[in-house]
Amino acid sequence: MKWDEFFVTGEPMIYAAMVSIVLVSVAIVGSLTYFKKWGYLWRNWLTTVDHKKIGVMYIIAALLMLFRGGVDALLMRAQTAVPENGLLDGQHYNEIFTTHGIIMILFMAMPFIIGLMNVVIPLQIGARDVAFPRLNAVSFWLFFFGAMLLNLSFVIGGSPDAGWSAYFPLASTEFSPTVGNNYYSLSLQIAGIGTLMTGINFLVTILKMRAPGMTLMKMPMFTWSILITSVIIIFAFPVLTVALALMMLDRQFGTQFFAMQNGGMDMLWANLFWVWGHPEVYIVILPAFGIYSEIISTFARKNLYGYKSMVVSMVAISLLSFLVWVHHFYTMGHGVMVNSVFSITTMAIAVPTGVKIFNWLFTLRKGKISFTSPMLYALAFIPIFTIGGVTGVMLAMASADYQYHNTMFLVAHFHYVLIPGTVFAVIAGYHYWFPKVFGFRLNEKLAKWAFWFIAISFNVTFFPLFILGLNGMTRRMYTYSASTGYGPLNMLSMVGAVGLTIGFLLLVYNIYWSTRYAKRDTTGDPWDGRSLEWSTPSPVPEYNFAKTPVVTKLDAFWFSKKENTSLTEGEYEPIHMPNNNGQPFIMGVAFFFFGFFMVFSWWIPAIIAGLVVLGAMAYRTFEKDHGHHIPVDEIERTEKALRGEQS
Amino acid sequence: MKQLFPVPHVIGFVSSLLLSLIALVVVKFDLTFASGMTILGVTALVQAGLQLFLFMHVGENEDKRSLMTNIAYALFVGLVTIFGTLFAMLWGYNMI
């Protein structure tokens, strides 16, 4: 292999990216050394098993990936803003829409949600950490190094370029000869293992570690949504694992699973991909439903309308989500029977989703609504998401789908579902739970400015795509001639994309502004919340709850405030906590090198890195680490410092 | 010594290897399709049982309800994936 095949060459933008990567790395290493922060970084973050810190790291990584994916999106919109544009060539455009999709779904939406659930779930159920804290750290580092491996691809070796769905035969070595799709199979595999472990971890946490008295039907709705999400993760991700392994075998070991000859079946990839891919949509949307339920009931000052029907509809969605995958490739040429069956199951999902929409509306009815920034996102979500849902039902009709399939109409539809559904939700949740983690609220004025920029620009960006799609513009085309008439609406969409950028920059500027100037919250309950996380002081101490709360009903904390009763009783007892450990991080690094060597089929180094991974697991098997106890007097001191004298 | 030596695990491990060897017969010898599939099906079922009982300890769970829910859900997803794939990719593909 020559050097110019190893590094991506010939693109001024890529050279600029290489230079900036080197400069940023030097700056980070330099400032860590100068300010003597290496020890702090290692002890407090890289080795942590604290669910709150792991959650924060997930969210920081997700925000960084949001900007990486956002730059991809801006480049795409800029390229298509005018006809016959020469900003990007076809190959570069292919790589950009591919990485945009992968990053936004798997390295932005997923970690943002997993970050929020890490921060919130143990607090909401009155637990001191997740069931397997060390495994949780392993999950994070596998996600992180999987994401880094994929991001490396655009300077070393070339990015995947066959779309985020990587359909065969296009993704085979015959049509995608670069190592790009090797990056795809290996980085998603590594991150996917991490996600699978998160699913198991949170299922066990929610089933086994709830505070005394909190039966399943007394759990906050966000916890319910994460329980269902964990179940879907556990059953859907193994399919991705298998599909990616088959892809790797096909591309690097000469098997013929997805080949067009020798008994292979190219569309089997599409089939397996969507068997995972459709449940994946619900993995990112159900937590969003949970977040909105929390926010709407908090800021309407009412309990959630139709709690039981919310739970039943989520369980129904979790089962139905496994029954609809074929609607992603109606046009493959199945018989009428297949398309009819999957049409009906797809439309059936609209029923439980509709139940949830009406429950939120009835929760708002006659509520005392306060228009805080999280609430604004929740209120904007309802109408915008409904547009996305209704166009989804249009796409669900198999015969009509022959018209819409792979047009910009589809692109507009899934952005109308995923952005108000997932992105608005995680931003709303991030504003809502920010004071719990850091002890101060983000500035409301800046947050509202960001909200209006994002909400309006979102519609300006994506509504024109519905019309473009109906006019016949297909997705993934890197340019078009002026005579098609696609120019003006694409330009409008570009304007919206700039507005979205301003909105997201305001969002990040708000972190800086609020860190410096925002008033510190001393109550621990700045929004007048309903669930247990608001009964802890902010920022939350390492052990979460000094005494385990006892729950008797739904929204127990709300009623304890109203009735002036205490959720805890008894004396402080020593608290048993897990020890920090550097092994998950080291294992992540080993996985990263394993993946990287595998991408280039450098077998000997790959085997060595793989042995390090196995060695780490073997070491863990024989390791005896029983954690530590926090003594009573230290708990008393911490509680006094955080809550003042009254506790 | 009896407590230190995990007898069920070793039995499970050895029988897993044995079952894999039996499955290898299908490749190594010239069998009819039906008999080959029968061997694979039977060994796969026994293998799944071994994994569930000897390594995942389903028999030791006291919470029967969540265990049954879990197994039912797994069966549902597994069967839907297998038969749905066959339906979409083979049986339904040639239907008009």
pLDDT digit string, tens, across residues B53-80: 888 877 777 777 878 888 888 899 999 9
pLDDT for position B27: 82
Do the Cβ atoms of A322 and B81 come within 8 Å?
yes
A74 within 8 A of A13, measured Cβ to Cβ = no
Residues A213 and A130 in one domain: yes
Nearest to A294 by CA among A525, A124, A521: A124
Do the Cβ atoms of A335 and B84 come within 8 Å?
no
Residues A28 and A53 in one domain: no
* A336: contact with B, CB 8 A cutoff: yes
* AA identity, residue A195: T
Residue A246 lies in a domain: yes
Q: How far is the alpha carbon of B95 from chain A, nearest alpha carbon, in Å? A: 5
pLDDT for position A4: 72
Residues A32 and A131 in one domain: no
Residue A384 lies in a domain: yes
Kindly give the parts of chain A with pLDDT less than 70: 1, 645-647
Provide the CATH number for the domain around residue A576: 1.20.210.10
* A235: contact with B, CB 8 A cutoff: yes
Q: Dihedral, CA atoms, A304, A306, A310, A315, nearest 10 degrees?
A: 140
The DSSP line for A449-463 is HHHHHHHHHHHHHHH
Count of other CB atoms within 10 angstroms of residue A94: 21
Residue A616 lies in a domain: no
Residue A335 lies in a domain: yes
What does pLDDT average to over chain B?
84
Tokens of A167: 């359909």
How high is the ipTM of this complex? 0.84
Residue A611 lies in a domain: no
Selected residue of A321, A328, A338 to mutate for chain B interface (largest B Cβ count, 10 A)? A338
Residues A76 and A28 in one domain: no
Provide the domain limits for residue A29.
1-36
pLDDT for position B96: 47
3-state class (DSSP) for residue A532: helix
A342 within 8 A of A326, measured Cβ to Cβ = yes
Residues A127 and A220 in one domain: yes
Selected residue of B9, B33, B77, B85 to mutate for chain A interface (largest A Cβ count, 10 A)? B77
| Chain B residues contacting A via beta carbons under 8 Å | 66, 73-74, 76-77, 80-81, 84-85, 87-89, 92-96
Residues A303 and A341 in one domain: yes
Helix A307-320 and helix A221-252: axis angle, to 10°?
Answer: 10
Residues A21 and A139 in one domain: no
Q: How far is the alpha carbon of B62 from chain A, nearest alpha carbon, in Å? A: 13
In this complex, which of B73, B84, B89 lies closest to A265 when CB atoms are compared?
A: B89
Residues A18 and A159 in one domain: no
Residue A594 lies in a domain: no
- What is the separation of C-alpha A563 from the centre of its chain, rounded to a whole number of angstroms? 38
- Residue numbers in A near B81 (CB within 8 A): 239, 275, 322
Residues A153 and A29 in one domain: no
pLDDT for position A334: 85
pLDDT for position B8: 80
Residue A588 lies in a domain: no
pLDDT for position A35: 87
Residues A159 and A32 in one domain: no
Residues A518 and A431 in one domain: yes
Q: How far is the alpha carbon of B79 from chain A, nearest alpha carbon, in Å? A: 11
Kindly give the parts of chain B with pLDDT less than 50: 96
Return the DSSP state at A575: E
In this complex, which of B66, B73, B85 lies closest to A235 when CB atoms are compared?
A: B73
Tokens of A343: 């049409």
Q: How far is the alpha carbon of B61 from chain A, nearest alpha carbon, in Å? A: 13
In this complex, which of B73, B85, B93 lies closest to A231 when CB atoms are compared?
A: B73
Do the Cβ atoms of A271 and B95 come within 8 Å?
no
In this complex, which of B76, B85, B95 lies closest to A319 when CB atoms are compared?
A: B76
Residue A614 lies in a domain: no
State how far the Cα of A106 lies from the Cα of A61, in Å rounded to an integer.
12
- Residue numbers in B near A210 (CB within 8 A): none
Q: For the whole model, what pTM was predicted?
A: 0.94
Residues A93 and A143 in one domain: yes
* A216: contact with B, CB 8 A cutoff: no
Q: What is the pLDDT of residues A412-425, one digit of tens each?
A: 999 999 999 999 99
Quick one: closest CA in A to B94, which residue? A335
The domain tally of chain A equals: 2
